[in-house]
Amino acid sequence: MSATAPGIDPAGRTVIVVDDGLATGATAKAAIKALRGQNAARIILAVPVAPLDAAAELRGEVDELVCLHELQDFQGVGAAYADFHQLTDAEVLALLASADGLGKPA
């Protein structure tokens, strides 16, 4: 994968949406809606942390939700991490370049 790599058509595929955590779930909902519109066969949402209500709502939107910590007393996504700094564009591009070729579809 690179900054200029073409997208992969999700039609007929199982798609795993990964997020650093759900707060309101709005971003995940938008991604799920877009994938449903592109005819993804199955959508799995994987997050490390979410408030109970957002997890319950999103569970009804996906085929499977994998969430390590569903919290009643949710204090924000960043509170679940020891280091939750904002990545620079350069850091993201370097990470994508280092992963190039690791996730090629079959």
3 state SS of 50: strand
Q: Which residue has the higher pLDDT, 6 or 67?
A: 67
List domains and CATH numbers for the chain: 14-99 (3.40.50.2020)
Question: How sure is the predictor about 104, in pLDDT bands with cuts at 50, 70 and 90?
Answer: low
- Count helices and strands (H / E) in the chain: 3, 3
Beta bridge partners of 67: 47
**Per-residue pLDDT reduced to its tens digit, 9-63:** 999 999 999 998 898 899 999 999 999 999 999 999 999 999 999 999 999 999 9
Entry pTM:
0.78
Please tell me the predicted confidence (pLDDT) of residue 1: 45
* Cα separations in angstroms, 95 against 12, 19, 45, 81: 28, 16, 22, 19
